[in-house]
Structure 1
C-alpha cells in the first residue's frame, strides 16, 4: 500500500482508528481544558465517523486538571499520593468535557480506565477487547485513560503512547495516531537542532531509528517523549497496525494532516496471530533466558526453544509466566510462555532434552518455550 494513500489515515483505508491526545495539547499551562481546540478535534472525529471510520480515543489530562483544582505543586506529580488524588479529581472533569463535546455532535461517549495489569493479564485483556468491540459496534466513542488513581509503579504504563498502542492491539485497530507537540520523527530533536529533518515513512524500526528518539517531554506536563512513541510504534506495527505521529498544535489536527500536513508513519508489519501479538506487545515479563547463537538461529526458523540452547536463566518465575528470550549481546529476540518454573529451568539450562528426566526426576515437556506459545519481537 502506498504511503501517500495512508496519509491522514482515510476512512476508506483505515476502518478503525485509535487517537491519542497528550496532556500538553489538552490542558493549558493554567490547568484548564483547551476547549476551543478540543472542539475542533471532536469535529474531526465526527466527520470521520460520518465517513464510516470507527474511532477510539486515548486521552491524557486527568492529573494536570486535578492538580489545578487541588492546588497541588509540581503539576500533581510531586508524589504518588498527589498524582493519585489529582487523577481521581481530574478524571471527572476530563470525562465530562469529552462527553459534552461529543454530545454536541450527536455522539455517545463511554469511559474506560485501565492499568497496565489489565492488558498484561490475558483474561482481563480479552475482557477489555470484548468491551471495546461492543462499544464501537454500538457506534459509541470509547474515551480511555490510565487509571492513575489506583495505579502504582508496578502496574503503570507511565505514558499514554504505549497505552494507545496496546489499546489499538486489543481493539484490532487498523491504525493509531499519536497527536504530539512535534509533527513527526526527526533525525534529531527539532526543538534544539534546526538542521533536523522529518522522516515521513518508517518501514522498519531498527537501531538507527531508535537512536533518533529523544526521551524528554517538551512541555514538562506529560510523561512521554519520542522514546515512548518509538516503543508504541513497535507494539502497534507488530500487531499489524500503522502508527502515525502528527502535530496536535493546530486546530482540526486530523483534517490538517489529511490535507497535506506533516507527519511520520510507521508502517505495519505482517500481523501476528492475536495470542502472539499480545505476547510480543507485553511491557512486563517475569524472567530472561539468555540463549546461544545456535538457539537464536533455530528460533528464527520457527523452532521451539530447547534447554540445550539456553546459556543462563535470570529471574524468578512459575510455569506459564511470560519470559524474554535474549541473545548473548542483550537483544530481546522473542517472548513466550515458559514451560518450567525458574528453579527447574536453571537445572536443565544447557542440557539435552534426554537429560531432563535424570535431572528433575521426570520429563513432562521436552522444550522450555514451545513455538506455539512464543512470539518473535
Structure 2
C-alpha cells in the first residue's frame, strides 16, 4: 500500500453483489463486505463506499413493466430512473443495517465532478464525514442524470472519488479474481496477473466483458478506473467480490487479485482533475506540431495553425487539441466558442483575425493537460 497518502480506502461494490437476482437487496455477499469495512475502520483506515445497485434493487418494485420490451425508449428511460429512485432507499437501508456507526448518502452526476467548485465541495464533504466517523456511501444519481451528465459506470466514478478524497487505495470488486491475460471463462490456460506497473494498449487488450447480467461495468471500465487512480498515486486492486477470502487476504496485507501500482510521481491534483474528470466538448485540429514539450507550447498555438474545429462548445469549455495526423496533444480550455473559432480559422484577413485574438490566446493557460507522452506539465496554479 502507498504509505505516503492519507489512511483512506475507497471500496467499489457493483450491482451484482447488491441485488444478484434483481429481487431487491440481498445480504448474501454484502455481509462479508460489511465486515471488511468494519475491520478496516478498526485498523484506523477511513473507508468510502462507492455502491452501485439502485436500479437492480428497485426493479422488483415494477413487476408489470420491468421486462416490457414494447415500451418506447423515453418510457424505458423514465422507468429506469423510477427504479433507481425506489431502489436507492432500499440499498441505503440495507447497508445501514450492517453497521453500528452512521452512514451518509452522496449522489453525484458528472456535472458535479467536472465543475471545479462543486468538485472541491464534494471533497470537503467527504473529508468532514470521515473526520466525524461517518461512512460516506456514494452512487451516481441515476434518477436525474442524462447522457450528457452521467459518468456511466461506478468503476470510473470510484476512481474520481478516490482522487477527490486523496485516498491511499482503491479496491474494485469484480466477478472474477482480477485481470487475466485472456478470458478465464473461455480459456483454461488463462493466467492471473498479480501486479501491473504500467497500463498500456496491451493491458486493455486483455480486458473482456463482464459475465454479470446485472452490472454495467466490465473489465475495461475497471482498467480505465485503475489508470485514473494510479496516475494520482493510488494503489488499485481488482478483486473477486463474491469471495469472502478476497477481503480476508486484503486485511492480512496480501494481494488476492490484481494490483495496479500507484505512480511514484503522481500528477498534480488540479491537473489530474482536469485530465481524468473534466470531459472535452469538442476538438480543434491544428497544423503539424513537431515539438510539444510543455503547456506553454500549446498555449502559443495561433489562429493560422487551426485547420478544423469539430463539436459544439462555448467559451470556457474544455476541448482536445489534435495534430493533423490525429495525435492527441492536450486537453485545454478554449477562450473562444466553436463557432467563432471556425470563423477565425477561415479568415485570410490577418488584421481581422488580430482584432479578435490580440488580447486573448486561443487556449486558456490556466488549464492545460498534456496528452503527448513527451510533454511535461506546467506548474499547478492554486
> TM-score when scaled to structure 2?
0.85
- 1:84 is aligned, of 81, 87, 91, to 81
**1:192-211 pair list within 5 angstroms:** 192-211=186-205
Number of the residue aligned with 1:245? 238
How has the CA–CA distance of structure 1 residues 96 and 286 changed in structure 2, closer, same or farther, with 3 Å as cutoff? same
Number of the residue aligned with 1:19? 11
Q: Distance in 1 between matches of 2:256 and 2:165?
A: 26
Contact 1:340 1:368 in 2 (8 A): yes
Q: Distance in 2 between matches of 1:131 and 1:124?
A: 10
Contact 1:322 1:335 in 2 (8 A): yes
Say how many residue pairs are matched.
Answer: 362
Number of the residue aligned with 1:3? none
- 1:128 is aligned, of 122, 125, 130, to 122
How has the CA–CA distance of structure 1 residues 181 and 310 changed in structure 2, closer, same or farther, with 3 Å as cutoff? same
- 1:28 is aligned, of 17, 20, 40, to 20
How has the CA–CA distance of structure 1 residues 187 and 298 changed in structure 2, closer, same or farther, with 3 Å as cutoff? same
Number of the residue aligned with 2:31? 39
Contact 2:51 2:137 in 1 (8 A): yes
SS in 1 for 2:292: helix
Matched, 1:97 2:91: no
Contact 1:75 1:221 in 2 (8 A): no
Q: Distance in 2 between matches of 1:211 and 1:119?
A: 29
Is the helix fraction higher in 1 or 2?
A: 1
Q: Deviations over 1:237-289 (max 9, x none)?
A: 23332222111111253223444453112222332222211110126221112
The structural deviation recorded for 1:332 is 3.5
How has the CA–CA distance of structure 1 residues 137 and 303 changed in structure 2, closer, same or farther, with 3 Å as cutoff? farther
Contact 2:295 2:369 in 1 (8 A): no
What is the RMSD computed on CA atoms of the aligned residues? 2.8
Contact 1:294 1:309 in 2 (8 A): no
Q: Which stretch shows the higher mean deviation, 37-46 or 323-332? A: 323-332
Contact 2:96 2:102 in 1 (8 A): yes
Runs of 4+ with deviation above 6 angstroms: 11-14, 75-78
Q: Deviations over 1:324-355 (max 9, x none)?
A: 12344434342121122223323455999xx8
Contact 2:25 2:90 in 1 (8 A): no
Q: Deviations over 1:279-328 (max 9, x none)?
A: 10126221112244425x32457633312554322122222111112344
Contact 1:31 1:67 in 2 (8 A): yes
Matched, 1:322 2:322: no
Matched, 1:284 2:253: no
Q: Distance in 2 between matches of 1:280 and 1:339?
A: 18
Matched, 1:223 2:229: no
> TM-score when scaled to structure 1?
0.87
How has the CA–CA distance of structure 1 residues 330 and 258 changed in structure 2, closer, same or farther, with 3 Å as cutoff? farther
Q: Distance in 1 between matches of 2:212 and 2:240?
A: 14
- 1:64 is aligned, of 49, 56, 68, to 56
- Is there any run of 5+ residues in structure 1 with no aligned partner, and where? 1-5
How has the CA–CA distance of structure 1 residues 198 and 348 changed in structure 2, closer, same or farther, with 3 Å as cutoff? farther
